Amino acid sequence: MSDATGPVTDARGNRLDQIRLTGVSATGYHGVFEHEKRDGQTFVVDVVVHLDTRRAAAGDDLRHTLHYGELAELVVAVIEGPAYDLIETLAERIAATVLADGTVSAVDVAVHKPQAPIAVPFGDVVVAIRRDRTKLPAAEPYVPPVTAPPTHAVGAVEQPLEIAPLDVAPLVVPPLEPPTGTAQLPVAPDDQPTTAFTVPDLEAPAPIAAPADDEVVGEVVTDRLDVAPDAPVDAVLAFGANLGNAQETLRAAITEIGQVPGIEIVDVSPLARTAPVGGPDQPDFLNAVVLVRTSLAPRELLRAAQAVEQAHGRERLEHWGPRTLDVDLIVYGTVLAVTEDLELPHPRAHERAFVLQPWAQVDPDAFLPGLGGGPVAALAATAPDREGVRWLALDWLTAPLPAAHWEADAGPRPGGPGA
């Protein structure tokens, strides 16, 4: 990218093209004074969209560029929509709406308030921002009412979800018991496809429910992420651990998440042993991705995942530090959202091979929505940490893997670094 006023470039340093939409005006009810929210006033918005227009031009195909007519309608809808105290908030909402279109790399938004209640003569008041894939907007995209959604619209990020039947049977995870016996080291994952998994009988852990609101650390937020879906939604959870018997922890955690009312486990990925990314010197991680279908709201699903973490002694003492269990909500349907406590999709999923590679194994056609997204298999092949994935194990839910049983304080791991 570039600074906030200069040209925007792509990953190779090539300057991107621009689509400029200026002077879009509508009546809004934004301001800190009561009369502003009561009487309204005219707001004017300028938008500069940074993107590569060559593919659209080569095929004369609107699908590969921005539909600026629909963009103008969406900008007006945001201006005329919910009232905000600050035009800074209005600018963020417009930027989020534009960036929800996958063809857009960056956007400049200028909100003019020429009738602002200022006691001295003035010409205009303008708030101007630039947002891109690395500096995301601090607001959610505007979503048009679900009536007759446009075929290609900036910000049309949530359509009525139709769940197609999967080729695999839902995973029924029976209670776990301590693993016994030995198993051969894992084979390459393409030797055979993974379909459904059965976990051996283990001592049944007590069912874990999402914590009550008064048990949640931090501010309890109420917004659309607290609204349960009309129909079950497909979601993706990423599990990781590198303290204690990590394999046993992950097996138990997957069982526990499947016992939460409103969560059905659909499939579980192969187990990946991965080098830590960032943070202090620490043991390798074991990682797995779990596909679920849920009737819980996004934030309810997050809290259920956090409850499972807490049940396994998760302590957030050090950023990117070692942990007994880490459970992240990666994707919830097609929802795009940025809030204080939850960002969807997960903001770093597109560059984390320890999420992308197991996910691509269990769902080769998976697609990561949102900024930086794309086909999961392609993202996995180019992820910066892809060399850190040591191996993948297919049968890890049903058999113990000796190489996965190191203890954090037991000295060097089997095979040493890079094994």
pLDDT in tens, 289-342: 999 999 999 999 999 999 999 998 866 555 445 678 999 999 999 999 888 889
Q: Would you put residue 309 in left (φ > 0), alpha (ψ -120 to 50) or beta? A: alpha
Question: In the prediction, which pLDDT does 281 show?
Answer: 65
Q: Which pTM does this prediction carry? A: 0.49
C-beta separation of 127 from 87 below 8 A: yes
Distance CA 22, CA 48 (A): 8
Which amino acid is present at 380?
Answer: A
Task: Phi first, then psi: give them for residue 263, nearest 5 degrees.
Answer: -125, 125
Task: List the catalytic residues.
Answer: 113
Token digits of residue 35 = 């009369």
Distance CA 9, CA 2 (A): 7
Distance CA 368, CA 293 (A): 16
Question: In the prediction, which pLDDT does 324 show?
Answer: 84
In 3D space, the residue among 128, 125, 107, 106 whose CA is nearest the CA of residue 115 turns out to be: 125
The low-confidence residues of the chain, meaning pLDDT below 70, are: 1-5, 145-222, 277-281, 314-322, 399-419
Question: In the prediction, which pLDDT does 274 show?
Answer: 86
In 3D space, the residue among 238, 324, 318, 246 whose CA is nearest the CA of residue 279 turns out to be: 318
Distance CA 299, CA 316 (A): 19
Question: In the prediction, which pLDDT does 12 show?
Answer: 74
What 8-state DSSP symbol labels residue 317? -
If you compute the radius of gyration of the chain from its CA atoms, what whole number of angstroms results? Answer: 24
In 3D space, the residue among 249, 313, 272 whose CA is nearest the CA of residue 189 turns out to be: 272
Structural element, H or E, at residue 326: strand 326-332
* 333-361 per-position pLDDT tens digit: 999 988 888 999 998 899 899 999 999 99
Helix, strand, or coil (residue 288): strand
Distance CA 71, CA 99 (A): 11
Domains of the chain, CATH where assigned:
17-132 (3.30.1130.10), 189-404 (3.30.70.560)
